[in-house]
Amino acid sequence: MLNQKIAKIFYQIGEYLEMEDVPFKPQAYEKAGRVLESLSKDVGEIYKEKGLQGLKKIPGIGESMAKKIEEFIKTGKIKRYEELKKKCPVNLEELSRIEGLGPKMIKILYQELGIKNIKDLEKAAKKHLIQKLYRFGPKVEENILRGIEFSKKSKGRFLLGFVLDTVKLIEKRLNDLDEVEIAMVAGSVRRRKETIGDIDILVVAKNSQKVMDFFVSMPEVEAVYSKGSTRSSVRLNLGLDADLRVVKKESFGSALQYFTGSKEHNISTRRIAQEKGLKLNEYGVYKRKNQNKWERIGGASEEEVYQLLGLPYIEPELRENRGEIEAGLKGRLPKIVKYEEVKADLHMHTTWSDGSHTIEEMVKEAKRLGREYIAITDHAGELKVAGGMSEKEILLQIKEIEALNKKIKGIKILKGIEANIKVDGTIDVDEKILKRLDLVIASVHSKFKMSKKEMTKRICRAMQNPYVNIIGHPTGRVIQQRAGYDLDFEEILKEAKRTNTFLEINAYPDRLDLSDINIKKAVEAGVKLTIGTDSHHKNQLRFLELGIAQARRGWAKKSDILNCLPLKEFLKKIKKF
């Protein structure tokens, strides 16, 4: 999709403009980038159907941005971006991934040390040249080196949430072909890992050659690496590779189980097969017929494969070799939350703060998606960069929500805010305002580098506030950008349970915070969780699926997720004391 390519350019234009201290423009480009990332439809298709006017009708995309999108569609370039790159020829995409390295710091590093990319940055840091610069110092240099190591780990990976729509589209296209009996995406996409390296698709087909012809000629294909009668490999315009394999119907379950992975899970299942005197591979489950021959005894479905191993069916999201095999053998595998069991979205932003849509527009889209209730949680308090509402504005928004609840039937709108946790753990909105709301999310938005002890104390104090219901994006991680705060997570869990405060699973693609590992810890500690999309655009409301997937990967059951409850029960549970 063009959306991600243009979004990246918009982000970088914004960063170049921030280097130059241009007011307001950087935020406009960042907002436009977020809008493009959230679109489920390719902007190229929108332009093809409706031209420039169609682009201008995208909420959050004004005439200036629309013309730049048009320019890229026509020429493959944006003149303004090329001009800015010439002025400061640095690899912004690389360098801005390093935590704590903002545009102005990147500009200084280029001007003073000629640093253009991560390779230059690492070389200068290891020679201790960066700490000699004014306002940098040894600590900044140390953080940069740590950030470089973190960046290396995520190289070549793509955020699941920003590629999933395209993957689903390809899967649907293949299933719609007359020659295909079944097509299914496997690999890390099927396990719903937060980042993926490539795409694996399996099909059972009547005519494999026609399927391969179709696959390699799809509009998303940039390059064809190989094409055969049973396997083809291509590069998509998203920047990642995709493999299509045709398998026999009687082996489909075994192939799906094998190519879904994970590698560690598969090692365990093969070991169990060996212990039972069986053989398991991508073609089926076999038992020894005689010394020289194996007889195939199953493999048409995954359920059959697991049954022959003496296991219950294990959901793809659980297949990470984190105890699911042992739990299955003991009959203790949890019944993890289903996608359709989550009734509400508890975190979203509107034009009252930094969102692209009105409350009414967000409500109507949420209703269309089948939500039974939602919480409007615009930024409030001191976070002015995100349009934080004043106390007067919060009261005005309450009135608007009350009016919309009377106007729009079939969905309930809860009155909420996302407030800021200050350095001392207090909340930046007066309690007399907080008590008028249905729920309050409190989040850390500043001073991320506090010590483990101080950050833990900060968040624990916020949970002690009688009106704080949910801690938003609790560890502060941003996937592929920063690892998150240094926290004593066990202490956070103890305080959450003691104060009846809930921890959020933030479903936005580059957050997915809590991580699956921390979700499992919360579940084991008996701490209840909520899921919210953190949407700033109505198209982002569909990201709820990612949060549910994350909950499933963390072994969460329906009873662990607060917004699986009907509204009346939810409102009772959310009261703290």
pLDDT at 1: 66
Shared domain for 163 and 232, answered yes or no, is yes
Q: Is residue 197 part of a domain?
A: yes
Shared domain for 444 and 490, answered yes or no, is yes
Shared domain for 496 and 542, answered yes or no, is yes
Helix (H) / strand (E) element for 161: namely helix 160-176
User: Both tokens of residue 364?
Assistant: 């109507």
Q: 35 with 61: CB under 8 angstroms?
A: yes
CA-CA distance, 326 to 268, in Å (whole number)? 10
Which of these three, 129, 153, 177, is where a domain ends? 153
Which of these three, 329, 359, 382, is where a domain ends? 329
Helix (H) / strand (E) element for 523: namely helix 516-525
Report the candidate in 406, 487, 537 with the shortest Cα–Cα distance to residue 59. 537
Shared domain for 418 and 359, answered yes or no, is yes
Shared domain for 34 and 54, answered yes or no, is yes
Shared domain for 287 and 180, answered yes or no, is no
Q: Which domain holds residue 8?
A: 2-153
Q: 125 with 144: CB under 8 angstroms?
A: yes
Backbone angles phi, psi at 377, to 5 degrees: -130, 65
Helix, strand or coil for residue 557?
strand
Number of domains present in the structure of the chain: 4
CATH code of residue 149: 1.10.150.110
Mean pLDDT of 456-474: 97
Report pLDDT digits (tens) over 517-532: 999 999 999 999 999 9
Report the candidate in 199, 194, 192 with the shortest Cα–Cα distance to residue 170. 199
Shared domain for 478 and 363, answered yes or no, is yes
Report the candidate in 247, 246, 254 with the shortest Cα–Cα distance to residue 278. 254
Contacts of 93 (CB under 8 A, 6+ apart): 8, 12
**pTM for the whole structure:** 0.86
Report pLDDT digits (tens) over 301-329: 999 999 999 999 999 999 999 999 999 99
Report pLDDT digits (tens) over 13-50: 888 888 887 777 888 888 888 888 878 788 888 888 88
Helix, strand or coil for residue 306?
helix
CA separation, residue 484 to residues 49, 487, 514, 544 (Å): 42, 9, 10, 22
pLDDT at 342: 98
Shared domain for 310 and 345, answered yes or no, is no
Torsion of CA 274, 279, 284, 290, to 10 degrees: -140
